[in-house]
Structure 1
Amino acid sequence: MRLLVDRGLPAHERYRGAVVARLGQARIDEIFDYRKVLELGAPRMALVSGADLTPCWPRSTTSSRWPRAPRHRRGAN
């Protein structure tokens, strides 16, 4: 909890405990930028490692529109 308070998410008020802190537009934008990185990066990392993400995609989506895993050449590290 202390780590979250240090990051400014909850505010600790004496005799009341932790309460949700008010966030300005700049902080909200920053949080959503982090969320975008995680939401787009996690599937990409899973595809690179060979995971089958077929169950994660809606049935109405055609496979030609699914994201493709980056192609790596053998021995190109």
Structure 2
Amino acid sequence: MNGPNPQLLKDLVEMKMPFGKYQGKQLCDLPETYLVWFKQKGFPQGKLGMLLETLYEIKLNGLEHLLSPLRKGSY
């Protein structure tokens, strides 16, 4: 079984939400309720949608600890 993609996890802590209520907020800091809304309405197309869906699964399954070592200042 393969582990999580390190680049994908890095993107989740470095990329910022490009639009909407949480514009400018790091993806990893988006509230779970916002991700649930996207799950119900449909994730955006492309890389952003894939990242948001991955983050949804991470938060749903209590795996946020995977992101902790990648956050700035955690090295």
Q: Which has the larger radius of gyration?
A: 1
Q: Which has the higher contact order (CA 8 A, sep 6+)?
A: 2
Q: Which structure carries more helix by proportion?
A: 2
Whether these two folds match at TM > 0.5 is no
Q: Which structure carries more strand by proportion?
A: 1
Task: State the TM-score, normalized to the length of structure 2.
Answer: 0.30
Task: State the TM-score, normalized to the length of structure 1.
Answer: 0.29
